[in-house]
Amino acid sequence: MIQIKSTQEIEKIRRSSQLASQTLDYAASVIKVGQTTAELDRLIHRFILGHNAVPATLGYRGFPASCCISINEVVVHGIPGPRVIQTGDLVKVDVTTILDGYYGDTARTFLMEPVLPKARHLAETTEKSLYLAVETVRHGSRLGDIGEAIQTCVEKEGFQVVRDFVGHGVGLKFHEDPNVPHYGRAGTGQRLKAGMTFTIEPMINAGTWRTRILADGWTAVTGDGELSAQFEHTLLVTQTGAEILTVS
């Protein structure tokens, strides 16, 4: 069942989402080549606690860190650790905050310049596909409209949409209904209603869309070792469109 949030709930989800976005602004200001992902996670952890919030990922189903950091061929759910951030890397940082009990979820791909043209093209196309998908959202639009917007945009550029991970309802809990696939056909799927809050978070691969999970049980990598990019926003459906809640 997809919940419709009350005005009071929406305001709390908005505040948490803004903090999540501010956390990524902070990450952008401190991320650097030579840093380990564990070091970046530590800084993000302190930032979130310093704003009277809690990182939702820490301890979530046993996840051991305060954010996910996924480099290059790592698609999603990278565990911060000893891996060193290098020039040319695509570094996906995904932050979910719990502020006053409410969740905000957002991710960006950071380019450790200089990066190869193909890597830049992948990251830019991924971000563009997210905004094209957001444009489809309003009271009465359908989940399939989102999926088609993303799939059309990225396949035109020769990239592929990851199937194994999808967007999700968010706000009162970390993962709520509905699932939000980043592929599909316009005019299909559930209708959206004003007051729904969910993420769109396309993971786009340079090669195959297939992924596999490493032995740690979390880290998802591309099936062929090629690059992957991701951007994520938490949205509120309104009568006339979508409000992006994860803005800073």
Residues that bind ligand MF3 (CB under 6 A): 57, 60-61, 63, 68, 77, 94, 96, 105, 199, 201, 218, 232
Tell me the three state secondary structure of residue 99: strand
Which CB, 24 or 154, lies closer to ligand MF3? 24
Which CB, 106 or 116, lies closer to Co ion? 106
Tell me the three state secondary structure of residue 65: coil
Minimum distance, C-beta of residue 6 to ligand MF3, in the bound complex (Å) = 23
Minimum distance, C-beta of residue 24 to ligand MF3, in the bound complex (Å) = 12
Q: Which residues bind Co ion (CB under 5 A)?
A: 94, 105, 107, 199, 201, 232
Which CB, 31 or 115, lies closer to ligand MF3? 31
Q: Is the peptide bond before 114 cis (omega within 30 degrees of 0)?
A: yes
The entry of Co ion, ligand MF3, none near residue 57 (CB within 5 to 8 angstroms by kind) is: ligand MF3
Which CB, 18 or 57, lies closer to ligand MF3? 57
Cα 60 to the center of its chain, rounded Å:
16
Minimum distance, C-beta of residue 45 to Co ion, in the bound complex (Å) = 16
What are the C-alpha distances in Å from 178 to residues 37, 169, 197, 200? 31, 5, 10, 11
Q: What would the 3-class secondary structure string for 100-166 be?
A: CCEEEEEEEEEECCCCCHHHHHHHHHHHHHHHHHHHHCCCCCEHHHHHHHHHHHHHHCCCEECCCCC
Minimum distance, C-beta of residue 116 to Co ion, in the bound complex (Å) = 26
